[in-house]
Amino acid sequence: MNDFEQFRQTFFEECDELLQRFEDVATTLQPEGNDSETLNELFRAVHSIKAGAGAFKLDRLVVYAHELEDFLDQVRGDLIGLQADGPALIIQSGDVLRELVENAQSGQEAPDGLESVTLEKLRQLNPKKAIEVTPVAVVENAEATRTSYEIYFRPFRSMYETANEPQLLFEALSDLGDINIHIDTSKVVELSKLDPMESYFSWNIELCSDCSVEDITAVFEFVEDDCELTIKAKTISEADAEEIVKSSSVDDKSPDGAQVIVGKSAKPETERAKPQLGSIRVDLEKVDQLVNMVGELVIAQAMALESISSEIGIAQVNQLQALEDLTMRTRQLQEGVMAIRMQPIKALFSRFPRLVRDLSTKLEKDVTLILEGEATEVDKTIIEELSDPLTHMIRNCMDHGIEMPEDRVQAGKKAQGTVRLSAEQRNGRILIRVSDDGRGLDPDKVVARAIQQGLIAEGDELTKEDIEMMIFRPGFSTASAVSDVSGRGVGMDVVRRNIQKLGGRITLDSKKGHGSCFTLALPLTLAVLDGMLVATAGERYVIPLSSIVETVCPAPSQIKQMPDGGQVLSLRGNTIRLVDLCGCMGLSRKGLTEPLRKLAVIVETEFGRQVGIVVDELLGQQQVVIKSLETNYYNIPGVAGSAILGDGRVRLILDVDGLVTMTPKPSLSNFDKGQAIEAENQFQANATRGQSR
């Protein structure tokens, strides 16, 4: 019987462990975005079960495990996507596998058709139906006559480099029949020129045997890519040689005569299975094109509307049902198209529980991860771009934020730390928060380090915000030692830059001893914006509607002058700084009448700060298509992008946060002030240039 029988016990014990592992891991599966290690684990578990099952000749188990293994191999290689019911299917398959194993162990026959349901589904999802072409049988030696073979064999150096030894090959050949070996040593060079790993020998071998060519190539199986090998066969009885030639890896110096390359296994043909119901794979490029085209459609529709309005007057236009219809449908189309690119942020969050678990163990800290708002939908690009930054931040939280359990208890906290990752949609933006209840930023340490690095001078006054923003400076780190978990603190400036590239903002809110919270604010869609059209000094701008809190027309008594030259608005007890858009944009009012009463558009920034942008007119709401300035021009502080309006003209979209940042603040450290002025100058210079388009 099978020699390996004594290991059955071990095998089934191992199966039990593997199946348990499989189940544990399978329950964490998501339809998308699974960790490669997760998928690898699943694959390996089934792979091991299959290997063992084969050794014990448990055929039914082998067959099933093979299908499941193959499926998992495709998934981990990204050739199949798991769809919504993928995870459930895998769990179910694991159950079937377990039942098969249990039956094999007890020696019972598993019920008929146990595998069929899951097998059917697995096969449906697996598009790879390889048609394997078996090696073409070259020599039909039906009568098993003795054949005389002439074999030419010349190794390449790679054969020696992979520790294959010709003596062993020739010994194997001699097992097939009678051999005669002739060596050609003519290529050997003197010691001084010799490269010991190079190949200088070649051989001509006569083999007299009733074996087939396949038997011979089998001997050279391991080295077929590492040598030149030609086999000529002559049946002894024939007078004229029937030359069937096989050669592989033909080098430039091929021996006499033309070689007919006999096909080995041709490339397997793949059949694409019919698209699965419920989903279809689409090139991201096509989706982007679609988004673009719809964007242009929106513009075209707006322009048409404008043009008709100027002909027959806006009142009449609003009467026209057809136009209203068109507007509505265009908007719906746009929303639909944008929705294609949106995915639940769960895909992004799903890898973090594992990360936190692993880091908890590694750092010997007790940390739990809470996820909120996983169903929040975000643009696919954002998911991709956020993966690294979020990973970095979570590592940071765990490494620098959360304290060791003993320290936490001593500080009166519970030993287990919490990291919270949440996502929500608000005001047309996506807000993602990464927070921990750890030790928080120590303002004194930050200030000390900033002074040490020459970023600020001693005695500079800093707001809480200033201190928090400090950590986003390149090279800034208060970590006394570099930990290999999160590396240096330099990462945060890169994180911030990446977020900004997406048109978003990142801020930190931290309280010493209590914890920290990073807030990422990202645009909901990257292409279309609801905006408020405003005018100042004859120029029009777009302010993102999502940033607008209210618009007011203040009485002169509500406006107060500040010592630094700025103005503030007193509104319901609050003091709101005013920014004159005209001045900001470097426009002059020469020749234009100054409006009697200015309007202030109160906007709110990510900081939660409110600022009033002073404009001349409000022109109404409009949806615009965002065209990036950066790709067409370059990044301008205070300007988020440009929009093409219904009249066909290009208008700048204001970046509210940028504008606000540039506004001088009452108490500012030297560096900040200098930077603000610098930015403002730059901004005015660029804006002027930009305006003259």
State the residues that interact with another protein by CB under 8 A. 2-4, 6-7, 10-11, 14, 40-41, 43-44, 47-48, 50-55, 62, 69, 132, 160-172, 181-183, 185, 188-192, 194, 196-197, 200-201, 203, 221-222, 225-226, 265
Q: Least Å distance between CB 78 and another protein?
A: 14
Least Å from the CB of residue 301 to another protein: 52
- Identity of the residue, 202 or 360, whose beta carbon is nearer to another protein in the bound complex: 202
| Smallest separation (angstroms) from another protein to the CB of 160 | 6
CB of residue 228 to another protein, shortest distance in Å: 16
> How many Cβ atoms are within 10 Å of 207's Cβ, its own excluded?
23
Q: Specify the residue, 173 or 527, whose C-beta has the smaller distance to another protein.
A: 173
Q: Is 3 left (phi over 0), alpha (psi -120 to 50) or beta?
A: alpha
Nearest one of 633, 645, 685, 640 to 661, comparing CA atoms: 640
**Nearest CB to another protein, comparing residues 3 and 140:** 3
Task: Tell me, rounded to whole angstroms, the distance of Cα 65 from its chain centroid.
Answer: 31
The residue among 163 and 481 lying less far from another protein, judged by its C-beta, is 163
CB 409 within 8 A of CB 384: no
Shorter beta-carbon distance to another protein: residue 150 or 530: 150
Give the shortest CB-163-to-another protein separation in angstroms: 5
> Closer CB to another protein, residue 194 or residue 293?
194
By beta-carbon proximity to another protein, the closer residue of 170 and 671 is 170
To another protein, the closest distance from the beta carbon of 88 in angstroms equals 25
Q: Which residues contact 323 (CB under 8 A, 6 or more apart)?
A: 305, 308, 317
CB of 348 to another protein, least distance (A): 25
- Which residue's entry shows tokens 């040598």? 227
Minimal distance, residue 352 CB to another protein, in Å: 21
Residue type, 248: S
Cα-based distances in Å from 416 to 156, 215, 368, 434: 61, 65, 7, 17
Q: CB nearer to another protein: give 54 or 487.
A: 54
In whole angstroms, the minimum distance from the beta carbon of 183 to another protein comes to 4
Q: Which is nearer to another protein, 16 or 306 (CB)?
A: 16
- Complete DSSP assignment for 286-351: HHHHHHHHHHHHHHHHHHHHHHHHHHH-HHHHHH-HHHHHHHHHHHHHHHHHHHHHEEETHHHHTT
Q: Is 3 exposed, middle or buried (0-12, 13-18, 19+ CB in 10 A)?
A: exposed
How far is residue 665's CA from residue 651's CA, in Å, rounded to a whole number? 28
Q: Among residues 74 and 343, whose Cβ is nearest to another protein?
A: 74
- Residue 418 main-chain phi, psi, to 5 deg: -125, 135
Between 47 and 346, CB nearer to another protein: 47
Q: How far is the CB of 377 from another protein (least distance, A)?
A: 35
Nearest distance in Å: CB 330, another protein: 49
The owner of tokens 């059955």 is 8
Question: Which of 46, 613 has the CB closer to another protein?
Answer: 46
Q: What would the DSSP string read from start to end of 618-663?
A: EEEEEEEEEE-HHHHS---TTEEEEEE-TTS-EEEEE-HHHHHHHS
> Which residue carries 């592989």 as its tokens?
248
CA 606 to mean position of chain CA atoms:
26
What minimum distance in Å lies between the beta carbon of 675 and another protein?
A: 48
* Length of the chain in terms of residues written: 693
Measure the CA–CA gap between 25 and 47, rounded to whole angstroms.
Answer: 15
A 10 A CB-CB count for 501 gives 11
Kindly tell me which of 47 and 496 has the beta carbon lying closer to another protein.
47
Helix (H) or strand (E) run with residue 203 in it? strand 202-209
Dist. CA 277–CA 273, nearest whole Å: 11
Q: What tokens does 99 get?
A: 């039942």
For 629-656, give one letter per residue: b (16+ CB within 10 A) or e: beeeeebbbbbbbbbbbbeeeebbbbbb
Cβ contact 651:540 at 8 Å: yes
CB of 54 vs another protein, minimal distance in Å: 3
